[in-house]
Structure 1
Amino acid sequence: MHDGVFRGVFRGGFREISSANFDPAHGTIKLGGAWLPHQGRKQEFGPMLIPHGTVIAIIDGKNWQLWRNAGNEAAPELAELPTPQLEEHNHGSGGRHYSSAGNPAGHQLDEDAHAAAVASWLNGEVQAHRIEQLVVIAAPRTLGELRHHYNKGTERATIRELSKDLIGRQPDEIIAALRAK
């Protein structure tokens, strides 16, 4: 948000929407008196506040971490959550990445399976209403793979995506990255 205006793609065209007409918690905008689903990418909106209770998932090709904002929007305090062990057997997700002697990219299959497993876990948590608002920070390639596996509920719950590798960073570094454009 810059000067109280959100910029993004709504109803097939670029528009500027005042902050009073955008509801990030539900991913909706107010156009012509009606609240409509937001069609643009969440990361187009610049610096943000992190609502209380928001879950922040930080993912790369091998690891992941979960945090929750235990503070408020103005003064977030990230509390680390236990990270579940995942079954990373979904090698079907990386079907477009073939491994052979001439193209030894087996690690890509493993990274794709990891992303698919994380997305599956997030989908389940959103569906069970244990995650209401979600921020996803992932290495660029991993973020692309995650998007292939989000269900509609996870897409709606995701209030922000950040294409950056922040695994192992301290909470203040994570907050600073989210607030930076």
Structure 2
Amino acid sequence: MDKPIDHKTWILVADGEKALFLENLGDSDLPNFAIRRVEEHENPPDREQGANKPGRLHDGGGNHRSAVEDTDWHQLEKERFAAEIADLLYKMAHRGQFEKIVIVAPPRILGEMRQHFHKEVQARIVGEIDKDLTNHPLDQIEKLLAA
């Protein structure tokens, strides 16, 4: 990535539960990120979301039974949130809120968002970084992305 985070470039730092929309008010050499919007999504651990024990299937003759893998509700919520963020980016791009954006997210969430990005958003993406930086302070995010 050749320093795509210049003046007025937006940066989305997201994971499956939180999204920070930042704007670089500085330049590529001296970034100065300002928070433009924060989205948080309540997503309790899977153990708190699944109500039932995993199911079991009878495998033909005899007393042989197999467990059925339970749904990972926590992961499903992360994927749903990624789709919501992609939709929100489309609305923001359509309103002209940003011309260029860098997407920073863990690989799985980044992949999920890519599936939902509208062409109008894809055309404005100038970089992607597969890292989870949502719990880092703003100055740390600036340093890590400027490096």
**TM-score exceeds 0.5:** yes
Instruction: Measure, in 2, the Cα distance between the counterparts of 1:171 and 1:102.
Output: 39
Gaps in structure 1 of 5+ consecutive residues: 1-45, 87-98
Give SS of 1:169's match.
coil
Asked if the contact 1:126/1:154 (under 8 Å) is kept, the reply is yes
Higher RCO structure (Cα 8 Å, ≥6 apart): 2
Deviation at 1:178, TM superposition (A): 2.2
The structural deviation recorded for 1:138 is 0.5
- Partner residue, 1:104: 71
1:130 and 2:97 aligned: yes
- TM (norm. structure 2) is 0.75
Deviations 1:143-166 (A, max 9, x none): 000000001111110111100000
SS in 2 for 1:83: strand
Q: Distance in 2 between matches of 1:67 and 1:125?
A: 13
**Aligned partner of 1:159 among 123, 126, 133:** 126
Q: Distance in 2 between matches of 1:153 and 1:81?
A: 20
Is residue 13–residue 21 contact of structure 2 (8 Å, CA) maintained in 1? Answer: yes
Q: CA deviation at 1:47?
A: 4.7
Q: Does residue 33 of structure 2 align to residue 78 of structure 1?
A: yes
Secondary structure (helix, strand or coil) at the match of 1:131 reads coil
Query: Could you tell me which residue of structure 2 aligns to residue 168 of structure 1?
Result: 135
Aligned to 2:9: 54
Instruction: Determine the C-alpha separation between the residues in 2 that align with 1:49 and 1:126.
Output: 18
Structure-1 separation of matches of 2:40 and 2:107:
22
1:76 Cα deviation after fit: 1.1
* Maintained 8 Å contact 1:54/1:68: yes
The verdict on how the C-alpha distance between 1:148 and 1:49 changes in structure 2, with shifts beyond 3 A counting, is closer
Corresponding residue pairs, total: 124
How large is the Cα RMSD of the aligned pairs? Answer: 2.3
Distance 1:49 1:102 in 2: 43
Q: TM-score, normalised by structure 1?
A: 0.62
Residue 141 of structure 1 and its aligned partner are, at CA, apart by 0.5
> 1:171, CA displacement in angstroms?
2.6
8 Å contact kept, 1:47–1:179: no
SS at match of 2:85: helix
Label 1:59 to 1:84 Cα distance change in 2 as closer, same or farther (>3 A): closer
Paired position in structure 1 for 2:65: none
Task: Check the 8 A contact 2:19/2:40 in 1, yes or no.
Answer: no
**In structure 2, how many angstroms separate the alpha carbons of the residues matched to 1:84 and 1:165?**
15
